[in-house]
Structure 1
Amino acid sequence: MEPRITTTIQNHIAIISFFHPAGNSFPSLQLHQLTQEINQVGKSENIHVIVLKSEGEGAFCAGASFDELLQVSNLEEGNHFFSGFANVINAMRKCPKLIIGRAQGKAVGGGVGLLAACDYVLAHENAAIKLSELAIGIGPFVIEPAVTKKIGKTAMAAMTLEATQWKSAAWANEKGLFSQVFSSMETLDETVLQFSEQLASYNPDALLEMKKVLWEGTEHWDTLLYERAAISGRLVLSDFTKKALAQFKQK
């Protein structure tokens, strides 16, 4: 039950899986490890496509580690923690390989950001999504550019302001965060495999050029996401956020 990130490679496809016993949430160390893994895998000429998934049949990703958020005691620590999500999203954005997301369950906060940073997402109907950050005194500032890029500012605003409400997988599919939704885990996994194998059979140079097209106009994220991390890093120190995090943890 130890947190882990593992990569398996077959047929020019790298499957990167992450696990954490607390709903597949992310502490700083695991965010750093995922960033490194994406950067490393992206350099391999033997790999044409990446699949990003989490382990288990429960949540896809519960977002930031509440335990670690509660321990943030100064601006430097806050900036460092939220920069972890900025690092992952920028690594996914700049990775020369197309990234296919596989979502088997709910995604909250940073988990929604990870899915938004994928180039194509296949999901189970259980994969509801929520941006709950305002409810704990912060906001989805780091992941907002990725979410807005996928679903638009209006839908992003609805998710953010309705901070306690889940949006269904069907809603996510309608808005463009998900590309396909399935009622069966077996069908989801079969389709992830078939789709990634099909993509991996295409001209790698064409895939690379397509990746560049998909992320045109995001070069400023190299600074923007860290400016956003500083906002979250400041807000997480507030008494409001400390109390809200403690209450959420008790639930």
Structure 2
Amino acid sequence: MSEILIETAANGVATVTMNRGEVHNAFNEQVIADLTAAFGKVGADPAVRVVLLRGVGKSFSAGADLGWMKKMAGYSHEENLTDAMGLAGMLRALDECPKPTVAVVQGPAFGGGVGLVSACDIAIGVETATFALSEVRLGIIPAAISPYVIGAIGERACRRYFLTGERFSAAEAHRIGLLHEVVGADGLEAAVAATVKNLLDSAPTAVSAAKELVRAVARRPLTDAVVRDTAERIARQRASAEGKEGIGAFLDKRNPSWRS
């Protein structure tokens, strides 16, 4: 049985599922490679408009697989570096996926699982989910996931949770920005469906361009080059076929071609 499943619905919603429920969807080197390939595949598929990331079973993802951790304990520095670069590359592939990504957090997310949630554009979780960046309790640090976690929850929250390794609730995850929405277990699918509808109601290339815009502008000083770059981006989008269709539909009081 495949440990990473990809399904694409007729409406363009692709679901990437971590299918390792028996080990709480923990990573090993093969799972990391398969996730990297999956994110590349859905990102390059012109039929895909939205990507959902899910885990089967009780947990979203427990981070590193115990067997993988035992192997790492015997690795040389170079072997550890190669291994860590694989994880970093997988997270980057998710972060840079040109399609909007939604983490559907049905259960706990620890360590690298928090990295997956952070690297998605949108994260929706159940109120019973718990989270932890517990690497320091194992004598290591959450380095590969840190760019995405710091981007999601900020430096101040990371100064606490990176250092203490303590667990925190879905309510706290929402407060610090890791989750955009917290719902009861029976409301998870409805919340995901509502988010998917909002994404599908938006112009597909504009959504990708907006995602890239955030990456281009975030955490950069407001220089003349940044101002020029933002102006160039909106000019390109306005002049595109999609931009003309969207503005024309608004003026004509009709639905644009991408909205059913």
Settle same-fold status: TM greater than 0.5: yes
Secondary structure of the corresponding residue to residue 104 of structure 2? strand
Secondary structure of the corresponding residue to residue 121 of structure 1? strand
Alignment partners' CA distance in 2, 1:103 and 1:48:
20
Residue range with higher mean Cα deviation, 196-205 or 149-158: 196-205
Alignment partners' CA distance in 2, 1:94 and 1:8:
20
Alignment partners' CA distance in 1, 2:88 and 2:59:
21
| Match status 1:65 vs 2:65 | yes
| Match status 1:189 vs 2:207 | no
How far did residue 135 of structure 1 move? 0.8
TM-score scaled by structure 1? Answer: 0.82
Alignment partners' CA distance in 1, 2:207 and 2:142:
30
How far did residue 128 of structure 1 move? 1.1
Residue range with higher mean Cα deviation, 201-210 or 103-112: 201-210
Alignment partners' CA distance in 2, 1:19 and 1:78:
26
Secondary structure of the corresponding residue to residue 138 of structure 1? coil
Alignment partners' CA distance in 1, 2:217 and 2:70:
35
Q: Which residue of 2 aligns with 1:151?
A: 153
Alignment partners' CA distance in 2, 1:172 and 1:3:
31
Instruction: Please say if residues 117 and 123 of structure 2, whose CA atoms lie closer than 8 Å, have aligned partners that are also in contact.
Output: yes
CA displacement 1:58-82 (0-9 Å, x = unmatched): 1110001121121122123212322
Residue range with higher mean Cα deviation, 65-74 or 36-45: 65-74
Instruction: Please say if residues 93 and 215 of structure 1, whose CA atoms lie closer than 8 Å, have aligned partners that are also in contact.
Output: no
Alignment partners' CA distance in 1, 2:76 and 2:29:
15
Alignment partners' CA distance in 1, 2:68 and 2:80:
10
Q: Which residue of 2 aligns with 1:7?
A: 6
Instruction: Please say if residues 13 and 197 of structure 1, whose CA atoms lie closer than 8 Å, have aligned partners that are also in contact.
Output: no
Q: Which residue of 2 aligns with 1:178?
A: 179
Q: Which residue of 1 aligns with 2:235?
A: none
CA displacement 1:72-106 (0-9 Å, x = unmatched): 22123212322222111110122110101100111
Alignment partners' CA distance in 2, 1:3 and 1:166:
31
Secondary structure of the corresponding residue to residue 128 of structure 2? coil
Secondary structure of the corresponding residue to residue 14 of structure 1? strand
Secondary structure of the corresponding residue to residue 210 of structure 2? helix
RMSD (Å) for aligned C-alpha atoms: 1.6
Alignment partners' CA distance in 2, 1:191 and 1:216:
29
Q: Which residue of 2 aligns with 1:136?
A: 138
Secondary structure of the corresponding residue to residue 51 of structure 1? strand
Q: Which residue of 1 aligns with 2:42?
A: 41
Q: Which residue of 1 aligns with 2:98?
A: 96
Q: Which residue of 1 aligns with 2:29?
A: 28
Q: How many residues align?
A: 215
How far did residue 216 of structure 1 move? 2.5
Alignment partners' CA distance in 1, 2:215 and 2:87:
18
Secondary structure of the corresponding residue to residue 83 of structure 2? helix
Alignment partners' CA distance in 1, 2:13 and 2:198:
10
Alignment partners' CA distance in 2, 1:119 and 1:87:
17
Secondary structure of the corresponding residue to residue 101 of structure 1? strand
CA displacement 1:15-50 (0-9 Å, x = unmatched): 110122211100000110000010011011111111
For 2:64, give the aligned amino acid. Answer: A
Alignment partners' CA distance in 2, 1:157 and 1:217:
24
TM-score scaled by structure 2? Answer: 0.79
Alignment partners' CA distance in 1, 2:45 and 2:201:
16
Alignment partners' CA distance in 1, 2:204 and 2:132:
35
Instruction: Please say if residues 183 and 191 of structure 2, whose CA atoms lie closer than 8 Å, have aligned partners that are also in contact.
Output: no
Q: Higher Cα Rg: structure 1 or 2?
A: 2
How far did residue 217 of structure 1 move? 5.8
Alignment partners' CA distance in 2, 1:95 and 1:43:
8
Higher RCO (Cα < 8 Å, 6 or more apart): 1
